[in-house]
Structure formats: C-alpha cells, structure tokens
C-alpha cells in the first residue's frame, strides 16, 4: 500500500517527536501533581507568600483615593393598585 493512497498518511518524524514529548510531559505533570502533598512545607510557604501578597495588594487598594465604591441595591417601588 502506498502512503499517498492511504486515508491517513504517516506523520513526519518531527511531528511524531513533538507528540511523544508532549505525552511524556503530560504524564510527568500528572504524576507530579498526584504525588505532591498539600501539607508540604514548600507548599505552606508558597501559600503564606501568596496570602501576604494579597494582603498588601488589598491594603494598597484600600488606601488609594477613589479605590472603593459602595453600591446600594434598592428594591423596585411597588406599583400602584388599579
């Protein structure tokens, strides 16, 4: 059978290598995510750093002029009886 006649021609070798590398990277990422523990000290340090960064960003927003706007949602007025 000729490659030109087949319904699905063979992929070029570079595309095959790319697909293989993407499959290996995906599998490695999944294994890493499944084996990493959420209670790991590195994980806790990252969470603390993220919380500190979020707190400082919130403090900057609160001290900025015009940084907060309160919106009141009032109920619609009752319609008059007919």
Domain definitions of the chain by residue range: 11-48
Question: d(Cα 78, Cα 73) in Å, to the nearest integer?
Answer: 15
Average pLDDT score over residue span 35-44 = 73
What pTM was computed for the model?
Answer: 0.41
Q: Where are the alpha helices (DSSP H) in the chain?
A: 13-35, 41-63
Under 8 Å between Cβ of 51 and 58: no
Q: Which band of pLDDT confidence, cut at 50, 70 and 90, is reported for residue 72? A: confident
Most confident listed range (3-12, 14-23, 30-39):
14-23
Question: 61 or 81: which carries more pLDDT confidence?
Answer: 81
What per-residue confidence (pLDDT) applies to 67?
Answer: 56
């Amino acid at each position: 059978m000729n490659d030109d006649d087949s319904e699905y021609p063979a992929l070029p070798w570079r595309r095959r290598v790319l697909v293989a590398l993407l499959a290996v990277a995906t599998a490695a990422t999944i294994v890493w995510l499944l084996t990493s523990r959420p209670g790991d000290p590195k994980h806790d340090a990252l969470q603390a750093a993220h919380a500190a960064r979020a707190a400082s960003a919130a403090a900057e927003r609160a001290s900025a002029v015009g940084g907060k706007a309160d919106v009141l949602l009032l109920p619609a007025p009752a319609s008059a009886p007919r």
